Structure 1
């Protein structure tokens, strides 16, 4: 072989080897991220984010308590008015509600993490992202039945009327779900999977609400989904009780250890 040609092409072999290595690593990364542990990794990501939000809101509550105490002291010294104190206390109550909501959300995310860990699919089972896409497609097909079936169009005209608030809300949720799905196709990470999962859940809720509204508009008697609000309230109260119980147990253990040392 021509020595000049060898000199000019000496870099091809290392370059091809590097390209093959990068390609294999990319396929392996995509396979692991889009594989059977994706839902579990997303649940862990959700817990981490919810824990940070709860920590931030706990700090905000401490600041609100300090501001309320300061406002009360300034009111006693006649440097602030009663309206200032009332405003500080209102902010304090809002921060307390925010913290309770964050704690309830953290508790729900932990439950989801336990469920995802228990439901980790086997090697031969469909991947979480594939199942989520199938769920998205099923919701879309359910909506399309109102668009393509003449009998459904006549029975429930509100489902195809974009002037109806419930229908418009569904269409907005559908656009957000499509965008979230596109993000997972570009890069399937725990964060994008979590966003896509939440978008699909919101899409299903909006479809249920639109169907409920359409049935009411058609004269049918449909039960209102008020049980969801009650369930959320129970969850919030349960999370608050668990937190108080944990704090009491920690305090009792600390007192017992101090007594033993003395």
Structure 2
């Protein structure tokens, strides 16, 4: 799908919100014990993410211990002439990767704890509901991207931002689709798990947009996005390339 067509699909919630009329909130709510309560949504989602991060950290620590034991076993086998240097190097490499994964998992636990604390403070302070804040972040990103699609000067200066064949742009478009799919509809019931998934998609979208912008400006950018997002980006790039080929073929036949 071309970026401008994806934009049209991205804005499905605008019409329902406009048609809702005065006094309509346009936001999903969570009911607890018969009362409307959407203020705990971010806090409950943060606690859910913390529990998952802790489980992942334990699993990563176990994997690192297994890798350490395996490296020691291979080293002993080499000393006994039952393994070669390549086997030792492979075991050590696996150990380093497992240790890095364990450290990353511990870091995610720390980040999750900070998020729990932040959401607890936000819940006590009042103000916007968590889902409103998250939708606001989403809408800000959409507005920033629309500038590249609707501003002729920007489109000419940064054509890569509208070219789905560019890896960073394709990754952003893939993140855009994921965020669109994860965004709750105005009349839907939203659970903590739904909110956590939507927030994760917005986090990925913000990172992907930053990477795409820097790449479009000619900066060297690292592959700091999730592998799953790059996999989806390849699909976007192939779809875009196929559409360009089909359009070119039609033009030649005319």
Q: TM-score range by the shorter chain?
A: 0.5 to 0.7
Q: 1:82 aligns with which of 85, 96, 108?
A: 85
Structure 2 CA distance for aligned equivalents of residues 192 and 30 of structure 1: 19
- What's the Cα RMSD here? 2.9
Structure 1 CA distance for aligned equivalents of residues 136 and 164 of structure 2: 26
SS, match of residue 39 in structure 2: coil
Structure 2 CA distance for aligned equivalents of residues 145 and 80 of structure 1: 60
- Higher relative CO (Cα under 8 Å, sequence separation at least 6) belongs to 2
- Residue 11 of structure 1 aligns with which residue? none
Q: Which protein has the bigger helix share? A: 1
User: What TM-score results when the alignment is normalised by the length of structure 2?
Assistant: 0.67
Length, aligned pairs only: 195
Q: Which runs of 5+ in 1 are unaligned?
A: 1-25, 217-221, 230-262
Alpha-carbon offset, residue 165 of structure 1: 2.3
Equivalent residues of 1:33, 1:188 under 8 A apart: no
Structure 2 CA distance for aligned equivalents of residues 59 and 93 of structure 1: 14
- Residue 190 of structure 1 aligns with which residue? 192
Alpha-carbon offset, residue 163 of structure 1: 2.5
Equivalent residues of 2:30, 2:36 under 8 A apart: no
Structure 1 CA distance for aligned equivalents of residues 57 and 39 of structure 2: 29
Alpha-carbon offset, residue 185 of structure 1: 6.6
1:109-120 to structure 2, matched below 5 A, reads 109-120=112-123
- Residue 128 of structure 1 aligns with which residue? 130
Q: 1:41 aligns with which of 41, 44, 47?
A: 44
Structure of higher CA gyration radius: 1
- Residue 163 of structure 1 aligns with which residue? 165
1:1-262 to structure 2, matched below 5 A, reads 28-29=31-32, 35-120=38-123, 122=125, 125-182=127-184, 186-216=188-218
Alpha-carbon offset, residue 199 of structure 1: 1.1
User: What TM-score results when the alignment is normalised by the length of structure 1?
Assistant: 0.65
The 1:68–1:211 alpha-carbon spacing in structure 2 relative to 1, beyond 3 Å, is closer
Alpha-carbon offset, residue 83 of structure 1: 2.5
- Residue 243 of structure 2 aligns with which residue? none
Q: Which runs of 5+ in 2 are unaligned?
A: 1-28, 225-254
